[in-house]
Amino acid sequence: MSKFGISVALLTPVKETGAIDLAALAAHAVKMMQSGVAGVTLFGTTGEGASMDGASRAAGVKALLEAGIPAEKVTLGICETAAQDAADEIESASRLGITQFLLMPPCYFKNCADDGLFDWHMQLLNATPSSAKIILYHIPQVSGVGLSVPLVGRLAAAAPERVIAIKDSSGNWANAEALLKQGALPVLIGDERLMHRAVPLGASGAICGMANLYPERMIRLFETGEEDKALSDEVTEIVSVPVVPALKAILAERSGEPGWNRLRAPLTPLSATDRAKVLAAVAEAA
C-alpha cells in the first residue's frame, strides 16, 4: 500500500426508531465518493460502530454495495472484545465482497501486555479468510487499549500479507512520528491536525471524520502536505466536546437535514450550550 489516500470515516444516519437510515447512508457515501476520495470507512468510531449490531452492519454494507460503491473502496470497522466474534463479523462481510477491515483492539480488559494483544490479533487472523486485510487501530483515548510501536512492528512481521496498515488516531505526534520512522507498516492519520506534518514523512493517507464535511479539503491537505489552518482550528473546537455528536450537529446544520442529529445510545446529542458553541466556532473558522 504505497498510497491509501483519504477514506471518509462515515457518520451513520439513524431514524427515530434507532434503525440505520440506509437510504441516507448510501446517499451520503455516494456523495463522498463523487467528491474524489479514495474510499469510505463504515462503522468506525465516527460511524458509531461499537453501537451497531451484526444485522445493522450487514444491512449497511449491502446498502453501499447496492448503491454502486465498489467493495474494494469500502473499509469496515470491527469492534469486538472476543477474537472469534470479530472473526465471525469479518467472515460475514467477506462473503459480501469486503476485503479491508479497520480492527479495534479488544477494549474491555485494560493494561494488557503486548504478548496478550499479539495473541488476540493472531487468533483472529488465523480464523479469517486470507483475503481479509487488516488495518490496525490505535485510538487509546477511546478504546483504553493502545498498540505500542514495537507491537505494531511485531504484528507486521508476523502477518505481512494480512496486516496492511496502522491507523493512528491518538492525536499524539510523537507516536505517529515513531510509527512513520519505524516503517513497518503504512501509517494512516486519524487526527487531521497532524496530516501536514505526517505527509512529508511518508504518511499513506487518512481515515478521518472531517472528510464528512470537507472531502475536497482533506484530499488537498494530503496531496500538498500544507496545513489547512482553518480546518485545524475547527478540529480543535470539535474535540473539545463529544466528537461524534459534534460532527453530526455540524452536518445537520450545513445540510439542512435535521435527522443527522440523531445518535444511537449510549451517545446523545450535544447540549444546547455545546451545540451553539461548536456551530459558532466552526462558522468563524470556516
Mean pLDDT of 189-194: 97
CB atoms within 10 A of CB 280: 11
Which pLDDT tens digit goes with each residue over 207-246?
999 999 999 999 999 999 999 999 999 999 999 999 999 9
pTM of this structure: 0.95
CA–CA gap between residue 245 and residue 170 (Å, rounded) = 19
247-273 confidence digits (pLDDT tens): 999 999 999 998 899 999 999 999 999
Residue 58 pLDDT greater than 80, yes or no: yes
CA 109-115-119 angle, to 5 degrees, is: 80
Output DSSP code: residue 279. H
Q: How far is CA 158 from the centre of its chain?
A: 24
Give the percent of the chain with pLDDT over 90: 95
Average the pLDDT over 182-201 and give the result.
97
Tell me the pLDDT band of 286, cut-offs 50, 70 and 90.
low
Q: Report pLDDT digits (tens) over 69-83.
A: 999 999 999 999 999
Task: Say how many CA atoms lie within 13 Å of 178 toward its Cβ.
Answer: 14
Q: What pLDDT was estimated at residue 283?
A: 80
**Range with the lowest mean pLDDT among 1-15, 71-85, 191-205?**
1-15
Number of H-type helices and E-type strands within the chain:
12, 8
Residue 56: which H helix or E strand, with range? helix 54-66
